[in-house]
Structure 1
Amino acid sequence: MREFDSKFSLPQLNGAMSTAVTKSPTPVEQYSRAVYTVGILCALDIELLAIRALLDETHDDTDRAPGDDYAYALGRMGKHKVVATCLPDGEYGTNPAAECATNMKRSFPNIKFCLLVGIGGGVPSDDNDIRLGDVVYDRGKENGDVMLERTGALQGPPRALRALINYLKSTPGGSSDILLTYVKKIIASGSVGSKKRFSHPGKELDILFENCCPEGDINPQRPPQVKHREPRPTNSPVVHYGIIASGNKVIKNAKFRDEWGQKYGVLCFEMEAAGVMNILPTLVIRGVCDYCDAQKNKAWQEYAAATAAAYTRHLLIHLPCPEPDNRNLWKRINSDLSHAQTEERPKNS
């Protein structure tokens, strides 16, 4: 994989973070498909909406490879030209994700890696204090039929991206406050409509139950007990690095969740990575929206989608981009051509 040379200073990056996003970026001119180097794949429309709210600029639509029926949001995030899309409505899991990634790769052949961004189910434990709205990221683990066996690790993201992640992990103070800043930008963005969308649902709705029964086996005589956890001082999301398990089934079984957490160190479950990671080098970024038990609901989905999108921007803002800005390149070429034509123009006699 190609290495990236760092050219950014943190003070400049932190200064850029304070700029408020109050409306959707104005589309700029159309670019060739060849200039897009980062792919972002979401499963749900709310996940893609959160990503689009954090674009620095949007680009006009362009053509795509024959037979590719997917719609793409094109734009720039940081210095990277990105192409983002989501799965068709009602389709989830590894097979639709694989088809989507294959089409993205055909239409945008210079994509170096894919960020698989969205929501997932968290696996809290005594060692990992995972809360709803936190972010978990990793290259992922596949286990085919998730209820049966673990089959091994998949292709990981580029080395330069993994090196950047390690650098961000070492940053004093971590990333939590920065992510919360980006979440606020998503909420304030005109592209998301209602100002209540993507907001933090409230700590009182972050409930982890002890001794949860498997789905469909809830005993009304022994209702699940709420597990006591010390409250966090702020609503800032915490970022966790660890194993993400990928399969084709929704996990709503706390016993199974805890077994995998203890046996394999799994921090999160999701449903698309296993279909994407052997097509494009991929980093999985998941906002925790539930605890994979029978009490799961959709109350945290939008906020979790926002925190995952926030970490995506945080990552790309810090990732250097070696490619020149094509607009400046074309301006220079056109200027040189114009100058050459002026010199070749015959003088009036």
Structure 2
Amino acid sequence: MEKYTVAILCALDKELFAVRALFDKRHPALPSPRGCADSNHYALGRIGYHNVVTSGLPSGEYGTNAASDVVSNLKRTFPSVEYCLLVGIGGGVPEANDVRLGDVVVSHPSGTVPGLVQYDLGKTLEVEGFIRTGVLRGQPRQLMTAITALKSDPDLPDNPLAKSLDKIAGRKPAYGHPSQQRGTEMDILYSPGYAHPSAAQTCNRCDKSQIVHRKSRSSTHPVIHYGPIASGNQVMKSAQYRDQLSKEYGIYCFDMEAAGVMNSIECLVIRGICDYADSHKNDIWHEYAVTGHQGCGKCSDRGNCLPISPFQPHLRLYRNKRY
């Protein structure tokens, strides 16, 4: 187990499916039993030049506490793991940075704001109300320098995620682009002040005059954004609170697990945007958003990849076939 240095963690089974679908080679499962202290289930394989261990949260469990438990077990069983990629879906902040459904957000500091902000950690005072306190550990420099190298690569394809997206969708067509499957525009954003009718199961009867009209993109290719991600132990379904936090911290998206992982292991968070963190949440974009963030964890046509390249400096040259 000493040969595994990279961990990929997911919250949902559909996210874990996408990770395993992108393995370049699958490894045999761990011998059983591993000991009663570890309740995790692991899938092992190789992505690029690196041996990877993957695991997911227990079915039906979500949030920072469950994520922290999974990481604690993983570190005991795989003490050689150096870095963790926390990949999954998240709720995007649409207005300030034109984040759209199907896009990918990679945790990254912006000015004085760290790459990950735990927005529900703090104290409540009599007069001031809730005040956020505490700062999560920063992201490792190896990952940050790798992002710089990736963003500055002049030979990077216009759609670096295409190969991975096609591979996952080939295994399960449901993971394809929703607009392509249904033949209609499915990326709908409502005004922040317009709440979803409480009794309605879908947005079919929502007020169409409240739809925010945005300039169409030239393609349906997902855009990769780099910026702060907000993490908390609750589902964000308030557009107004979403925008308030975005204005305060420059947040690009929201998740529910990263804050439980960041202080336990060197970590990079990658989120595929499946909704706008408002009351109009639905599952239409879940599968496609999953393929987007997993594509960031897989080598592109040139052999580069966002989470793998940071570890290449640790490899001896004879193991790196590019030299």
Superposition TM-score tier, normalisation by shorter sequence:
0.7 to 0.9
Do residues 201 (structure 1) and 182 (structure 2) align? no
- Match for residue 8 of structure 1? none
Q: Distance in 2 between matches of 1:145 and 1:155?
A: 14
Tell me the TM-score normalized by structure 1.
0.76
Does structure 2 retain, via aligned residues, the 8 Å contact 1:155–1:282?
no
- Match for residue 127 of structure 2? none
- Match for residue 46 of structure 1? 14
Does structure 2 retain, via aligned residues, the 8 Å contact 1:36–1:82?
yes
Aligned residue identity for 1:142: Q
Pick closer, same or farther for the CA change 1:61–1:321 going to 2, 3 Å: farther
Does structure 2 retain, via aligned residues, the 8 Å contact 1:186–1:306?
yes
- Match for residue 281 of structure 1? 266
- Within the candidate set 102, 111, 122, 2:72 is matched to 102
Pick closer, same or farther for the CA change 1:137–1:267 going to 2, 3 Å: same
Does structure 2 retain, via aligned residues, the 8 Å contact 1:208–1:291?
yes
Q: Distance in 2 between matches of 1:243 and 1:50?
A: 24
Q: Distance in 2 between matches of 1:133 and 1:124?
A: 12
User: What is the CA-CA distance between 1:181 and the residue it aligns to?
Assistant: 2.1
User: What is the CA-CA distance between 1:253 and the residue it aligns to?
Assistant: 0.8
Pick closer, same or farther for the CA change 1:77–1:218 going to 2, 3 Å: same
Does structure 1 retain, via aligned residues, the 8 Å contact 2:85–2:269?
yes
Q: Distance in 1 between matches of 2:135 and 2:162?
A: 31
Aligned residue identity for 1:208: L
Deviations 1:92-138 (A, max 9, x none): 0000000000001110001101100000000011x301110100011
- Match for residue 162 of structure 2? 180
- Match for residue 143 of structure 1? 119
Mean Cα deviation higher: 200-209 or 212-221: 212-221
Mean Cα deviation higher: 311-320 or 77-86: 311-320
**Unpaired segments ≥5 residues, structure 1:** 1-32, 328-349
Mean Cα deviation higher: 222-231 or 315-324: 315-324
Q: Distance in 2 between matches of 1:226 and 1:79?
A: 46
Q: Distance in 1 between matches of 2:206 and 2:174?
A: 37
Do residues 88 (structure 1) and 86 (structure 2) align? no
Work out the percentage of aligned pairs sharing the same amino acid: 46
Deviations 1:45-97 (A, max 9, x none): 01011111111101101244541011101011011111001101110000000
- Match for residue 113 of structure 1? 83
Q: Distance in 2 between matches of 1:101 and 1:250?
A: 21
Mean Cα deviation higher: 93-102 or 252-261: 252-261
Pick closer, same or farther for the CA change 1:50–1:225 going to 2, 3 Å: same
Tell me the TM-score normalized by structure 2.
0.82
Q: Distance in 2 between matches of 1:225 and 1:72?
A: 45
Aligned residue identity for 2:150: L
Pick closer, same or farther for the CA change 1:224–1:297 going to 2, 3 Å: farther
State which structure, 1 or 2, has the greater radius of gyration over its C-alpha atoms: 1
